[in-house]
Amino acid sequence: MTGPPATGMDGMLGAVSAPPSPEKPLRVMPWWLALLGLLLAVGLGWLVLGWLLAEADRAAQPDTRATLRVDAIRTGLTVVAGTGGGLALLFAARRQWISERGQRHQESVAARDQAHRDRVQAHAEAVAEAAARHQERQATAAEHDAGERRLTELYVRAIELVGSDNPAVRLGGLHALERLGQDNPGQRPTTVAVLCAYLRMPAPDDPREAEVRRTAQRMLTRHLRADRDTWWPGTALDLTGAKLDDFDAAGCTLVDLDLTGAVCAGVTSFAGAVAHGRLRLAAEFTDLVCDDLTGDADIVLDDARVTGRASFDRADLGGALSCRGTRFGQVSFHTATLRQPSSFDRATFDGSATFREAVFLAGLSMEHTAFAGYAGFRRARFADLALFRWTEFGAEAWFEGARFEGGTNFGRAVFHGGAHFEGAKLARRPLVDQARASTSVTHTWPPEVTVTRRDDDWLVLSDP
């Protein structure tokens, strides 16, 4: 069984060392063969001459016998001469054939020599090319190793500067680290990880350190803006437990931002940002601005705390919004669009809460939610199920002009202030099982709701 054909360098070496195909050897005619031919011609002539002379002696008259014998001798010599000429012609033809074969052999040898030289030349060129590629790979590897060593040295030096006790030196280290990430895309995840880790570290009470940390924040957000040359796409920020001051990510492209357990002083802004993946905002905020926020990210504010104002005006949220157990100061979702289910279960609104002209395209759940101040849902649209069970409205609750296109449930809700449903449109009869309303204020209920007075302080709502 023969193996697979040789390829590459092995095939070239095989082509160079392969022997030429064997030719049939040329046999030399022995000398006795020519002598035999000559004897054959002489013998044939002698036999013919003897036969003719005998015939001449028998058939001819005495006066013509001499003439016939002369003719017989002439004929015999002619036979000898003809036979010799035929042999000579045969030898000449063989000599011509040998000459032509020799010429073909020379041409074949010349062709094989040329092919051999070509193969040797091709082999030499292939060897030279392979050697050049090997040298190039070695040079590339050496250059890569040198570059990696240089990057490692720069990184180590930057980390040493960041770890300095001097805030000014730390600031220089952060800039060196940022420049390293900007010039080397492969180092950007490491750079971002180091900056986030720095912000997660405990912050000493030092104005100079506060400036260093604000610089680190700006470095992160500077590379999250897709409309700038400094954009680092796909950057995820892990700022769990970090202490941030006026964190400004307005206009940024956010991917998997995690602020779980963070303390965000001042104004934390995501205004005009585009969010993807998952935004974990279970942190403590002074003010949270998410105006015009867009994207398909799921936003998780579970158990977060906003002591000041939280604003989602004109936001277009393509992912789910979860604010379970969140405590808000003032909050506004004016003209916001929520395309996926939203939950404010067990949330607390210490100040006013405005959902004016907000659009809830999926379900909304506000069970066990407490509104201490004004709750405004004027001209809001609820395209799916709206749950307000066990919700407590501590002040005015406005649903004027609201549209409930799905099921609505206010079971066990409590209205301490006035409930206003003027112009509200309900596609289905609302469920208000055992909801209560204060008798000290004026209410406007949907016509489908039955209201009875339980005592001097409370009205009871029931389904008809």
* Residue partners of 94: CB distance under 8 A and separation at least 6: 29
pLDDT at 192: 95
CA–CA separation, 258 vs 302, rounded Å?
Answer: 13
pLDDT at 9: 44
Query: Hey, which residues does 415 pair with through a beta bridge?
Result: 393, 437
pLDDT at 448: 87
Mean pLDDT score, 277-306: 98
Most confident of 182-191, 202-211, 260-269: 260-269
Q: Which has the closest alpha carbon to 216: 240, 184, 185, 239?
A: 239
pLDDT at 175: 93
- Per-residue pLDDT at 110 exceeds 50: yes
b/e code 71-82 from CB counts within 10 Å (16+ = b): ebeebbeebbee
CA–CA separation, 2 vs 109, rounded Å?
Answer: 28
- Other CB atoms within a 10 A radius of the CB of residue 84 amount to 17
Give percent above pLDDT 90 in the chain: 64
pLDDT at 25: 64
pLDDT at 149: 84
8 A C-beta contact, residue 422 and residue 401: yes
DSSP letters, 210-231, are: HHHHHHHHHHHHHTT-TTSTT-
Quick check: helix, strand or coil at residue 251? coil
Residue-wise pLDDT for 160-179, tens only, equals 988 888 999 999 999 999 99
| Token pair in block for residue 305 | 């705390």
Mean pLDDT score, 405-432: 96
